[in-house]
Amino acid sequence: MPDFLLAMALVLLLTMSAGLARVVIGPTPADRMMAAQLLGTSGIAVLLLLALSLDVPALLDVALIFALLAAVAVAAFTRRRAGRDQA
Amino acid sequence: MSQLTLLIVFDAVLLVTLLVLAFAAVLSPEPRRAVMLFIAFGLWLSLIWARLQAPDVALAEAAIGAGLGGALMLAAARRAARTASRSRGDDAS
Amino acid sequence: MSTEAILHALAAVCIVLGTTFFLAGTIGLLRLPDLFSRLHALTKADNLGLGLVMLGLILYDPNPFYAVKLLILWVLVMVSGATGAHLIAKRALRGDGEDAP
């Protein structure tokens, strides 16, 4: 069963690598931010699977930090400039 | 597939993608795009630390390297773009 | 067939389903034509996919503290994902999403 979890983590990792293409080519910054968000969520899933298959329970805390990081990055990205776009 | 084979494939995917991300971030001409790629790079590096069974380093990398550093660099890139457009003579305000 | 074997089989089914949702979300992100449909595909995929993977992991290792921790993590991801999608969509609607500053 740990082998199965590791195989699923590998599939998720390949999915993340494919999603990275959107970060590189994405036409607008909003596309890149969305791709980074998907990257963070898939990263959480990979970390949860690795925590069980490698038997390192502390990786759950890293997954919590990933969730916080996504919120901070999106908030920093969508913050409005003081002068120009108040409305 | 045995566990060793799976782990080797896992590490190979992690390493190749990390290198691609690093080159894309360094060679990117536009600051905001470079910062996005840097955030993705930090996430990926944190996964590598997790794979190396170093959860504490992965925690620090995710929180400081990608999270706070990425947010600060996004603000700096935006400020740089505004200064550049103002010095070009556009009406920025 | 023992209870543990049944739980493990259920866990495997849930994890495979969750991975399928992640795969569908990534394909949608890569293939859909405009920003809002991509946002739609993304938010469906990551909440449900992560939820199914977590359900599978809870079934695989039925420990109450572990389950509560995963549940808190899932709620956090859903709240931050919904807020982030809303912010990105609002900013894109106001036409402030282009590369030129």
Q: How far is B26 from chain C (nearest CA, A)?
A: 18
Domain that holds residue A67: 2-78
Establish if A87 belongs to a structural domain: no
Rg (CA), chain A: 16
How is residue B33 written in tokens? Answer: 């795009």
Instruction: Summarize pLDDT for C20-61 with one digit per residue, the tens.
Output: 999 998 898 888 888 888 888 888 878 888 999 999 999 888
- Average pLDDT of A56-65? 89
pLDDT, averaged across chain B: 85
The CA distance from A73 to B69, in Å, is: 10
Specify the 3-state DSSP secondary structure of C94. Answer: coil
Pick from A6, A32, A62: CB nearest B50:
A62
Establish if A42 belongs to a structural domain: yes
pLDDT band of residue A85 (cuts 50, 70, 90) is: very low
Which pLDDT score, from 0 to 100, does residue B22 have? 92
The CA distance from A12 to C19, in Å, is: 7
Establish if A52 belongs to a structural domain: yes
All structural domains of chain C with their residue ranges: 3-93
Which pLDDT score, from 0 to 100, does residue B4 have? 85
Instruction: Summarize pLDDT for C70-91 with one digit per residue, the tens.
Output: 999 999 998 888 888 888 888 8
Which pLDDT score, from 0 to 100, does residue C34 have? 83
How is residue C98 written in tokens? Answer: 């282009």
Show Cβ contacts of residue B81 under 8 Å, excluding neighbours closer than 6 positions.
B31, B32, C101
Instruction: Summarize pLDDT for B31-62 with one digit per residue, the tens.
Output: 888 888 888 899 899 999 998 988 899 999 88
* Degrees, nearest 5: CA angle B33-B37-B43: 150
pLDDT band of residue A86 (cuts 50, 70, 90) is: very low
Residue pair C33/A42 in contact (Cβ under 8 Å)? The answer is no
Instruction: Summarize pLDDT for A9-43 with one digit per residue, the tens.
Output: 899 999 989 888 888 887 777 888 888 888 888 99
Q: What's the structural domain count of chain A? A: 1
Mutation target to probe the B interface, by most B beta carbons within 10 A, among A65, A68, A78, A80 is A65
Share of chain C above pLDDT 70, in %: 92
pLDDT at B10 over 80: yes
Establish if A83 belongs to a structural domain: no
- Average pLDDT of A52-77? 86
Establish if A84 belongs to a structural domain: no
A76 and B70: CB-CB below 8 Å? yes
pLDDT band of residue C99 (cuts 50, 70, 90) is: very low
pLDDT at A77 over 90: no
